[in-house]
Structure 1
């Protein structure tokens, strides 16, 4: 790395690996002069981005002070807003959840209703931890529909009446006083899982199977959103088994129309079961209801048909299956594996790992926090912040 590119932000990026380093070690890594390293460390110390690490390190002479990243320097508020359920959290800069809260709330109640609740709930989280809004560095939001990430505005979301084009970042930012980042819920779940359990994985697909179906794509350890943020919308890929089944997006034959949680609940209700959403489907499978088990296994096969094509095209290291329906256990995964391994090229599946989610319901809020953290701690962004202080 050219020494002129090693600003305070780049120095912090080095220290974020969790290892404490002395001035001498940082000089060796960066090639910077001691005076320059000291100047940039002083700026980071002043902003509380770093902190002295425990006892000084001695090599026989005067003990050298080591420095480490200060994950407690700022706070992040995060929200995973689903079609029928919302979870919020307060985290530190390591995306560790300090407090969280969840509620049943329908996204179709509209943006102002949902976001007004969000502002109040965020305030209660801060109060619970005896923290203040002055400690915040940003807010991350996940929404259950297509989002243009650069503007934070939902774009023609099929299950979010009243949300199309709504200025979520502006509305929340003016009330919370900090930057707001918005993405679709599947992308933030992919970020959460990758950050927490698969940080070394280069290429990962996170498949959310809940009310609808979507896919978050991590390539070379970075989230891939596509040109307008629409990458990964696999729920509306046409599959043969869906035939002329009408999807709520207005088209027919979509994967979501036969394998999404809402579609499965509708079919179970038609079969005499008490089911209105994906969580009811999970309960029926856990209760061993034959029709529920049969439909979920077939949903896995239908999803596997689409994923087999993605495996051949993208060649991921890992596929993680999340969303409410992931809680049915092996029934869904078994159907997916059955088709993926039979329909994908052997080279593409040779080292492929397929598993259920690790973070459970926390994946979304952790990922929303990670989205903010990576933005705030980007070396260029942090250099600007340090210069402004």
Structure 2
């Protein structure tokens, strides 16, 4: 990075409209004078580039009064990203349920639907049903299909973010290597007549972590979310970006071997998910005569104060906490968030017991161990944010402005 501290990564006339938009969107420079100071551009050049963003409908002047300019003179009008000029469609798939929504570009949910969607039915039927939900939600929210700028989808399996394809998912039979992007885009066009839009796919825990970190902990440099439902997965956000690993496999916590004999759905024995997931707890409850078949059943039992469910959830938390001691020592996160069907007091108590016992005190000295703030909407909000960050990234803004003729 060159230039004076506080400037964008591109200096002088290299800072384009996309760089200015990025500064405004993230609140780092919200007046013309502040943009001049941050980029080194002249007043005229800043004005020209802002004019393109205004004509595209992406920027507007703030409703409040002006603020003092860092360059002196009269107060300058504030600038803000106009999150109403388009909408995003987002969906979050679990093993047996799905949730879909229409969101503004700033993450506000305008219309939402949840219902049964069984991933084992295969990608064709599931994605077709999602497209139908999207069509109904657009009508409900009062938006036209042409206003959709992108789709974000969270799935319960590892994803190659470049191709958007699921890679060897343990609990998604029939989805391996499937063209999710193409199928979902075509299905939406079939239902609504909407033009093809970008479709971004990522792991559900990744997008939950992304949504929670951006919404509740934007200044946290290392954030870890662990989702414990039918399976167990983790999402990691470092310096505001999702950490995916070499090929999308980062965070697959449920398949760490813990020395047990239980058979996992991945085909191996002794995986953490086989003994400590919501599905594992449900199987143990069923074996003792308590009707439970899934993590969601366990969640309902916990909500009712069922003593055996609480005891098994605490035991599962201890197993997960033992593994998380290594994760915390390796990553030194500021926040460790527990989410999913088991994210209640018994499980969290178990996690804390083993985590603080096994991890180095240095690793936990400034660690917050918390539960989800956004609940079942975390994946939706993360998926929407992923689409917005992709579409309005500086390197993509110029191309999109050219397509709009501005």
* TM, length-normalised to structure 2: 0.91
Give yes or no for the alignment of 1:348 onto 2:367: no
CA-to-aligned-CA distance 1:220-246 (integer Å, 9 cap, x gap): 221100110010001000013xx2211
- Comparing 111-120 and 61-70, the one that deviates more: 61-70
Which of 104, 125, 139 is the equivalent residue of 1:113? 125
Q: Which residue of 2 aligns with 1:49?
A: 58
1:354-380: CA deviations, max 9, x gaps? 000000100010011011011111111
**Structure 2 matches for 1:231-246, cutoff 5 A?**
231-240=250-259, 243-246=260-263
Q: CA deviation at 1:25?
A: 3.0
Question: 2:4 maps to what in 1?
Answer: none
**Which residue, 204, 214, 217 being the options, matches 1:185?**
204
- Using the alignment, how far apart are the partners of 2:331 and 2:29 within structure 1? 37
Task: Give the Cα–Cα distance (whole angstroms) in 2 for the partners of residues 183 and 80 of structure 1.
Answer: 10
Q: Does residue 1:248 correspond to 2:265, yes or no?
A: yes
What residue in structure 1 maps to residue 383 of structure 2? 368
- How many residue pairs get aligned? The number is 385
**1:55 Cα deviation from its structure 2 partner:** 6.1
Q: Tell me what 2:20 maps to.
A: 11
> Is the alpha carbon distance of 1:61 and 1:187 closer, same or farther for their aligned partners in structure 2, counting shifts above 3 Å?
closer
Does the CA-based 8 Å contact 1:19-1:68 persist in structure 2? no
Contact 2:29-2:38 at 8 Å conserved across structures: no
3-state SS of the aligned residue for 1:230?
Answer: coil
Q: Distance in 1 between matches of 2:285 and 2:73?
A: 74
Match of 1:163 in 2: 175
Match of 1:131 among 143, 160, 163: 143
The CA RMSD measured in Å over matched residues stands at: 1.8
Determine if the alignment matches structure 1 residue 331 to structure 2 residue 346. yes
| Separation of aligned partners in 2, 1:55 and 1:352 | 38
- Paired position in structure 2 for 1:284: 301
Q: CA deviation at 1:21?
A: 3.4
TM-score after normalising by structure 1 = 0.95
**Cα offset for 1:163?**
1.1
Partner of 1:88: 100
For residue 317 of structure 1, the aligned residue among 334, 346, 362 is 334
1:29 equivalent among 26, 38, 50: 38
Q: CA deviation at 1:47?
A: 0.8
**Equivalents in 1 of 2:286, 2:381: separation in Å?**
34
Structure 1 regions of 5+ residues with no counterpart? none
Equivalent position of 1:259 in the other structure: 276
Partners in 1 of 2:306 and 2:238 — Cα distance? 39
The question of whether the paired residues in 2 share the 8 Å contact of 1:20 and 1:68 is answered with no
Residues in 2 aligned to 1:342 and 1:161: alpha-carbon distance in whole angstroms = 38
Which has the higher mean CA deviation after the structures are superposed, 119-128 or 26-35?
26-35
Which of residues 148, 161, 180 in structure 2 aligns to 1:149?
Answer: 161
Residues in 2 aligned to 1:385 and 1:299: alpha-carbon distance in whole angstroms = 48
